[in-house]
Structure 1
């Protein structure tokens, strides 16, 4: 399989992981259960799940008031988008 397809599949999977991690942590917060560490949520965003994390933040209203998430998740998305733009235009 072509390397580009593998990268696209990776980003697709990470997008789902990013969304699910936000949804799951929100659900656990409501249930007063053990939560996902914030550092883990941010790592998921920076490792390729930024789009899913941002969608999860907005759709399930999770971590939207935390300045760290307001700044870092969009920054992760911007970095990945910039990388894609540079890759496509190269």
Structure 2
């Protein structure tokens, strides 16, 4: 389970970075639905970290408020599961 959590968060982090690069180059973008799916699959911490690291999707209210909130919930759940 720990390996899954690490993998999904790394994937979500790098997908945010990849989507930011695609946005800069005006290329075909990653769907927001895909980014949210990764977040809800356990990668909200990585997605939120990627959002702030790459300064991507920070103007979208759903991402700006939703990802940090979901990340906090996932942190709590990871903490409860590890105890």
TM-score by length of structure 2 reads 0.90
Q: How well do the aligned residues superpose, as a CA RMSD in angstroms?
A: 1.3
Matching of residues 8-87 of structure 1 within 5 Å? 8-87=2-81
Number of matched pairs: 83
Contact residue 14 and residue 48 of structure 1 kept, 8 A: yes
Segments of 4+ in structure 1 off by > 2 A?
84-89
Q: Distance in 2 between matches of 1:64 and 1:18?
A: 15
Structure 2, unaligned runs of 5 or more = none
Unaligned runs of 5+ in 1: 1-6
Shift of 1:88: 4.0
Maintained 8 Å contact 1:42/1:72: no
Deviations, residues 50-74 of structure 1 (Å, cap 9, x unaligned) = 1111111111100011001012211
Larger radius of gyration: 1
